[in-house]
Structure 1
Amino acid sequence: MTRAVVFAGPSIDAATVAGLAPVEVRPPVKRGDIDLLLAESEPPTHIGIVDGQFLQGLMISPKEVLRAIDRHPGTVRVFGSSSMGALRAAELADEGMVGVGQVFEMYRSGTVDADDEVAITFDPESLRALCEPMVNIRVAISAAVDRAVISAASGAIVVAAAKELYFPDRTYARILRLPAVREKVSDPELMALREFLDTEAPDAKRDDAVALLRRMDLG
């Protein structure tokens, strides 16, 4: 019998997840959640980790994910994407965790390596993100450069300024108001970038979450 559980929240909402695949949606994973799943009388055959807790609770450890893989070899598959899932999948890809999506590839290739690249804060009730993850910023600014919304030099300035902020403070509105940005990027570029970010910017975390659900292949 197939049973799939996906831990998701800010990256993709539960209603969207449920509409894309027959899974049980749980809030962002924290330490102990997977151990509890495995202790149930009928543990899941598929576990998807999209979002996880950073400041809100203890982070899920690589060892806990490994216990899921090693305890039921061949019968429990663990997938990761987008946020905490991408981070853990990059660490554990050689141990059997299945990584999916652009954010996973960024970690796997070494393009990014810090936890704060995917860390965000979120409303504990609605699970709505309260800031912008650094990986999303990188992907969105890269897309803006590719589409000639801003120059490559201006894009590098915006990304560097965003990286300097503590992760809960990263919002596009705050980033574009920073002196390091306003003093070096022209007003026309800033106006064009604001419009792009409001209307056309890709959402790497959400896109990767959708890719994870498809990769789980639950029919």
Structure 2
Amino acid sequence: MNAVVYLGPSLPLAAAAEELDAEFLPPIARGDLAELLKRPELPKAIGIVDGKFLSTLCVSPKEVLEVVDRGVKVFGSSSMGALRAAECHHWGMVGVGKIFEAYRTGEVDADDEVAIAFDEETGAPLSEPMVNLRFAVASALESAVVGPATAEAFLHAATSLYFPQRSARAALHAIRGAVPEDEHAALARYFATTAPDTKADDARLLLRAMRDYLTGNRQQTIERAVGVHRGGVALPA
């Protein structure tokens, strides 16, 4: 066994399997890494994308560092993985993607930015993460789909929603009539067609970085981990 990845609603399992031959496990929770360390053969690499919280204790930085100390390379992106990588990258965890970078630099600092509701049986997302909406609006601003005032109104509406009810559609409904009609329509089209899914994009980057690491392409691993954000757009507040 070379790789284990804790994955949930950030990326469909079928899409993940196309990127990396790995053992895919459900979103990580407190104690899961300790159970993994009991196996007679440890993986060479572990990827943390999604994790559980609220009703279940989340994986702790200490648990991650215990695995790193055992010589296993641990990668994080997208959701819980990005949070833990932002805390642990100084001690050997590898952070990958734009969301990790946003947490690392302090552009984003709230845990609920990556939180969503999802179906426990199927893993299908039932809401949208705030961090995805932020990156989408930043891209819409850069592309002149909307102006700063509409972007600010949308983000304010989205952050005001409790995370299980948070979605682009709900935020758009909340600002209808409060922003120019043409910009509202343009932003609705944008979310329906071309808005990025940053969580999914970052998850794919993590899987590719793990693949590069496992095949011995260490330089490409480094470039994916630390260079992928160059030239990106700044997040609006």
Q: Which residue of 2 aligns with 1:152?
A: 148
Aligned pair 1:134/2:146, yes or no?
Answer: no
Aligned match of 2:220 = none
Task: Tell me the equivalent position of 1:113.
Answer: 109
Give 1:56 shift.
5.0
Which residue in the other structure is 2:6 paired with? 7
**202, 210, 218: which one aligns with 1:208:** 202
Counterpart CA distance in 2 for 1:47 and 1:153 is: 42
* TM-score calculated relative to the size of structure 2: 0.87
Q: Trace 1:19-168 onto structure 2 (pairs within 5 A).
A: 19-55=18-54, 57-70=56-69, 72=70, 75-168=71-164
Letter in 2 for 1:185: V
Match of residue 180, structure 2, among 186, 193, 196: 186
Q: State, as a whole percentage, how many aligned pairs show the same letter.
A: 52
Partner Cα distance (1:83, 1:109) in 2? 16
The alpha-carbon deviation at position 125 of structure 1 amounts to 1.0
Q: Distance in 1 between matches of 2:52 and 2:120?
A: 10
CA distance in 2, matches of 1:55, 1:147: 37
* Structure 2 residue 169 is the aligned partner of structure 1 residue 196: no
CA positional deviation for 1:16? 1.1
2:233 aligned residue: none
Whole-Å Cα distance in 1 between the matches of residues 55 and 209 of structure 2? 29
Amino acid at match of 2:190: F
Contact 1:30 1:52 in 2 (8 A): yes
Deviations 1:119-149 (A, max 9, x none): 1110011101111101100000111111111
Q: Aligned with 1:47: secondary structure?
A: strand
RMSD: 1.2
Supply the AA of the counterpart residue of 1:207. D
* Contact 1:49 1:80 survives alignment (8 Å): yes
What are structure 1's unaligned runs of at least 5 residues?
A: none
SS, match of residue 123 in structure 2: coil
SS in 1 for 2:74: strand
For the residues of structure 2 that align with 1:196 and 1:213, how far apart are their CA atoms? Answer: 27
Following superposition, the deviation at residue 17 of structure 1 comes to 1.1
Once the two structures are overlaid, the 10-residue window that deviates more, 100-109 or 183-192, is 183-192
Gaps of 5+ in 2: 216-237
Q: Deviations over 1:10-30 (max 9, x none)?
A: 011111111111111111111
The aligned residue for residue 176 of structure 1 is 172
Q: How many aligned residue pairs are there?
A: 213
In the alignment, is the contact (CA less than 8 A) between 1:55 and 1:121 conserved in 2? no
Aligned residue identity for 2:197: D
